[in-house]
Every structure is written in C-alpha cells, then in structure tokens.
C-alpha cells in the first residue's frame, strides 16, 4: 500500500469528514457492480477505495488556483456512466475506474491503473497520482485538461 502522509492542513480537513490514517474498509461492495460488467479494478484503485470509499468531503471556498469543490468517494454514484469511463479510457490508452463525484455530481472522478486521479465529464482533466491528487482536491488545485 502507498504511504499516505498528508500535510497537517489536508489531514485536518480529511479527518473533519471522517477519514483517519488507519481507516480501511472493504472496497468490494463498491467495486463488484463494475467488475460484474467487466471493468477491471487494479491494486492502486483498491487501495484508494479501501482508504476513502463512503466518505463525502464537503469543502468549499477559494483554493490555490481554483475553487475548492465538494467531492465524494463512492463509485456507485457513477453507475450508468460506465460507457463514459470506458470510452475516455480507450481514447487515452488507460483503464479508467469510476470512483466518485466532484461538485455534487457536476463531474465524475476516475482513477487509472497507475493510481492517477481524473476529472471525467464531456472532457477529461488529470489531478495527478494519488496521494498528491487528494491534496489537490482538498486545497483547490486545478486539474490539467488533457482531452475534450
């Protein structure tokens, strides 16, 4: 498992919404519906979901270079959007697994087989590899648009 040591500022924000350093949940209930449809779940995705699944981070306000938006780590929020993830994954040459929503469903979140976190909509942007991507989400760092 990837070591995750967020800055005190980010750790405080995460803890205020129910996260803890030793938090581990079974990601199976979140991954099974997608696996049944043939969507592969890679180890970085399983590790990330074990740490964050089921948590909702109600953050807002100005960030580093974009607004801080609430996000929720719950793959079930992406059910029905499997085609969107598979089509973008195919276009980008990656396997993109649905992991949740950003800004109360305005955007989806996905993660590739290397643990890179993406914003997924009618366009795609990259937050970067986790754990740095969590820092970007919490602190309001704009993702890099890569397709759209």
Q: What's the domain range around 30?
A: 14-147
For 1-28, give one letter per residue: b (16+ CB within 10 A) or e: eeebebeeebbebbeebebeeeeeeebe
Instruction: Count the domains in the chain.
Output: 1
User: Is 7 part of any domain?
Assistant: no
pLDDT band at 8 (very low <50, low <70, confident <90, very high): confident
pLDDT tens digits for 31-75? Answer: 999 999 888 899 999 999 999 999 999 999 999 999 999 999 999
The enclosing H or E element of 100 equals strand 97-102
User: Is 3 part of any domain?
Assistant: no
User: Is 118 part of any domain?
Assistant: yes
Whether 95 and 40 have beta carbons less than 8 Å apart is answered as yes
DSSP-assigned beta bridge partners for residue 128? 117
User: Is 5 part of any domain?
Assistant: no
User: Is 2 part of any domain?
Assistant: no
pTM: 0.93
Which region holds residue 139: left if phi is over 0, alpha if psi is between -120 and 50, else beta?
alpha
User: Is 9 part of any domain?
Assistant: no
* pLDDT the model gives residue 17: 93
φ, ψ of residue 56 to 5 degrees: the values are -120, 125
User: Is 8 part of any domain?
Assistant: no
User: Is 26 part of any domain?
Assistant: yes
């Amino acid at each position: 498992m990837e070591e995750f040591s967020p800055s005190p500022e980010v750790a405080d924000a995460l803890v205020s919404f129910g996260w803890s350093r030793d938090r581990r949940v079974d990601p199976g209930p979140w991954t099974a519906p997608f696996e049944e449809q043939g969507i592969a779940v890679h180890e970085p995705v399983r590790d990330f979901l074990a740490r964050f699944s089921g948590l909702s981070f109600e953050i807002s306000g100005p960030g580093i270079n974009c607004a801080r938006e609430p996000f929720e780590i719950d793959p079930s929020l992406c059910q029905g959007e499997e085609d969107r993830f598979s089509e973008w994954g195919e276009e980008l040459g990656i396997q993109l697994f649905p992991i949740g929503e950003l800004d109360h469903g305005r955007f989806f979140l996905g993660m590739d087989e290397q643990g890179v976190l993406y914003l997924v909509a009618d366009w795609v942007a990259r937050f970067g590899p986790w754990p740095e991507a969590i820092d970007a989400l919490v602190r309001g760092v704009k993702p890099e648009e890569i397709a759209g």
